[in-house]
Amino acid sequence: MMRRPKQQKARKSGRKRTSQRKKPARSSRDPLDDFIVAGARALNLAIDPAWMAAVRGHLKVTLGLGLKVAAFALPDEAEPAPVFEA
Amino acid sequence: MEWFSASEIARAVAAGERDAVAVADAALSRIATLNKKLNAFTDIAAVRARAKAKALDEAREQGKALGPLAGVPFAVKNLFDIAGVPTRAGSKINRGHPPAARDATLIQRLEAAGAVLIGGLNMGEYAYDFTGENVHDGASRNPHDLSRMSGGSSGGSGSAVGGGLVPLALGSDTNGSIRVPSSFCGIFGLKPTYGRLSRAGTFPFVTSLDHLGPFARNVKDLALAYDAMQGPDPGDPVCAARPAQPALAELERGVDGLRIAVAGGYFRKGASAEAMEAVERVASALDVRREIEIPEAERARSAAYVITATEGAALHLDRLRKRASDFDPAVRDRLIAGALVPAALVNLAQKFRRWYRHHVLELFREVDVILAPATPCTAPMIGQQTFMLGGVETPLRPNIGVYTQPISFIGLPVVAAPVPLKPLPIAVQIIAAPWREDAALRVAAALERAGVAATSAPRL
């Protein structure tokens, strides 16, 4: 399982944020990374961190192509190509 | 014997002019010499081949009729089950499987017609490949330039037939894996209609899209093999319950009465000068002036991509959990990505598939055959990562099939006909309506007679 970067503990004090405060590590991550980590965890798939960039790249391409298909207007009654025969 | 056609070999063996054992020995000898260069074969079945050939020679001596492929050596992509051999499917993982208990249906049918199985052929891992490269077995090489790709994923099939190791080979085509090696290696390939040929006894990739078919160096051999393999098979639930429709006798009919058009729009975007020259030569030889547009071809390619990634991932999910590091990294990372694609997108891709099929079949009311490039370019260098597609530097691996994917997506039959450009060949897709392989083969035969489509012998 891919490890998440350690999160900084949220401060309980009501002090205002200062410009010197470090940004959370997550902000430098690609937003898709959280999806990949959660999806891999749900599927019990281990992803070596070294594979992450390639997996992210392939997923971006596939999602982009899938969304291109999803943008095509089909009627609600459209049947998928494989039709089960009882 | 290296450049003899299957039909010439079968005639000579049946007539007693040549022993089947001598033919098998000649093929095995050529493989022993040239496979070091081409890396086409991963398994060589010498004992089995000689035994089968001996049995054929004995049958002939006893006056028994031999089949239409008597003594013809052939080989199969190593995702076909060969009795006694583990079916590796280009992978490290599967070669640890027990040996196959029996031959794949198509091997049985070719051998019933007298052909002699010589061995198994190199391929891209689990058929998720357009290059012919394989991290475990090494790349199969292009016979016209050993530094170039054979094309995938049936790369060994392209190398073996194009290099003259065997006159006939079988491969699989999910998104272009028969048509791409045919184009890069300059040989003829037939991807029949989805459901035409049984896939029983082969390792799958994407069952929604998987086809099997033959490679040869001329159209007659392609039709001979195709005819020998047709027919229903309860072992493959996708195999159609329709009788065989032999195509060989149709080849002499020429193209009279066939309405032919060139695919425009998407199929003209991005193609190299060589790809377009090949299409122009073919269209000119056939006196085709009509151009039609296949609607939503680009979206069809996108949908095929999504279905491939997700069905492939589903097939390998357990192996990805347990043995991820044993995959080819290029295959593994794409499969992991495929496992994460939301199901809604897959369902929409399958719905779009039906829409697209309906509209493309409408086109076949107006035409019988459509011509399109097979690959956007001639064979790239082995290891090449990017290429120019429409003037834009683009990742090579996933985009070699831009012109083949929209066609196999709806299972249309296609003959890949090689145009022998110099220095490298490139093929044109001859696309017909479902179950009209005969029309595509007739056009290919006419082009061959005109000298426009041909396999040229490489210097090895």
- Report H helices in B125-218: 155-162, 179-185
What does DSSP assign to residue A12? -
Measured between CA atoms, the residue of chain A closest to residue B309 is A62
Say if the Cβ atoms of B306 and A39 lie within 8 Å. no
Say if the Cβ atoms of A79 and B349 lie within 8 Å. no
The residue from B77, B157, B182, B272 that is catalytic is B77
Task: Name chain A contacts of B409, Cβ cutoff 8 Å.
Answer: none
Rounded to whole angstroms, the Cα distance separating B182 from B189 reads 6
B360 reaches A (C-beta below 8 A): no
B354 reaches A (C-beta below 8 A): yes
Confidence of residue A12 (pLDDT cuts 50, 70, 90): very low
Q: What is the largest CA-CA distance in chain B?
A: 64
The residue from B140, B153, B208, B272 that is catalytic is B153
B18 reaches A (C-beta below 8 A): no
End-to-end CA distance of chain B: 15
Known catalytic membership, residue B456: no
Q: Would you list the domain boundaries of chain B?
A: 6-302+341-449
For the cut 80, the answer to whether the pLDDT of residue A2 exceeds it is no
Task: Name chain B contacts of A80, Cβ cutoff 8 Å.
Answer: 347, 350-351, 353-354
Nearest C-alpha neighbor of B405 from the set B380, B374, B379, B436: B374
Task: Name chain B contacts of A78, Cβ cutoff 8 Å.
Answer: 351, 354-355
Fold category of B6-302+341-449 in CATH: Amidase signature (AS) enzymes (3.90.1300)
B355 reaches A (C-beta below 8 A): yes
pLDDT at position B422: 96
Beta strands in B206-279 (DSSP E): 211-216, 260-263
* Contact residues for B55 (Cβ-Cβ < 8 A; gap 6+): none
A64-81 pLDDT, tens digit per residue, is 999 999 999 999 999 999
Say if the Cβ atoms of B350 and A45 lie within 8 Å. no
CB B402 within 8 A of CB B176: no
A18-40 pLDDT, tens digit per residue, is 445 555 444 568 989 999 999 99
Q: Would you list the domain boundaries of chain A?
A: 30-70
Known catalytic membership, residue B177: yes
Shortest distance between the Cα of A28 and any Cα of chain B, in A, equals 21
Measured between CA atoms, the residue of chain B closest to residue A53 is B333
- Report H helices in B261-399: 273-285, 297-323, 329-339, 343-363
In this structure, what is the dihedral angle of CA atoms B32, B8, B442, B379, given to the nearest 10 degrees? Answer: 20
* Contact residues for B83 (Cβ-Cβ < 8 A; gap 6+): B99, B100, B101, B102, B103
Phi, psi for residue B444 in degrees, rounded to 5: -60, -40
| pLDDT, block means (10 residues), chain B with 460 residues | 89 97 98 98 98 98 96 98 98 98 98 98 98 98 98 98 98 98 98 98 97 98 98 96 96 97 96 97 98 98 98 98 97 98 98 98 98 98 94 91 98 98 98 98 98 96
Say if the Cβ atoms of B340 and A74 lie within 8 Å. no
Q: Which residue from A58, A65, A81 is facing B353, i.e. has the nearest CB? A: A81
pLDDT at position A85: 73
Nearest C-alpha neighbor of B352 from the set B305, B413, B292: B305
Shortest distance between the Cα of B310 and any Cα of chain A, in A, equals 9
Measured between CA atoms, the residue of chain A closest to residue B341 is A63
How remote is the C-alpha of B39 from its chain's centroid? 18
Q: Which residue from B306, B344, B355 is facing A65, i.e. has the nearest CB? A: B306
pLDDT at position B58: 98
Shortest distance between the Cα of B307 and any Cα of chain A, in A, equals 9
Q: How many CA atoms lie within 13 A of B132 on its CB side?
A: 37
Shortest distance between the Cα of A6 and any Cα of chain B, in A, equals 24
Measured between CA atoms, the residue of chain A closest to residue B343 is A66
Task: Name chain B contacts of A59, Cβ cutoff 8 Å.
Answer: 337, 340-341
Known catalytic membership, residue B77: yes
Measured between CA atoms, the residue of chain B closest to residue A63 is B341
Measured between CA atoms, the residue of chain A closest to residue B316 is A45
Kindly state the helix (H) or strand (E) to which residue B427 belongs, with its residue range.
Answer: strand B426-432
Say if the Cβ atoms of B324 and A46 lie within 8 Å. yes
pLDDT at position A10: 39
pLDDT at position A28: 67
Shortest distance between the Cα of B227 and any Cα of chain A, in A, equals 27
Rounded to whole angstroms, the Cα distance separating B143 from B127 reads 21
* Cis amide bond preceding B153, omega within 30: yes
Say if the Cβ atoms of A81 and B351 lie within 8 Å. yes
Q: Which residue has the higher pLDDT, A6 or B78?
A: B78
* Selected residues 245-274 of chain B with any CB under 8 Å from a CB in chain A: none
What does DSSP assign to residue B381? B
ipTM of the complex: 0.92
The pair of three-digit structure tokens given for residue B407, joined into one six-digit string: 């066609």
Shortest distance between the Cα of B32 and any Cα of chain A, in A, equals 39
Helices B297-323 & B343-363 angle (0-180, nearest 10): 140
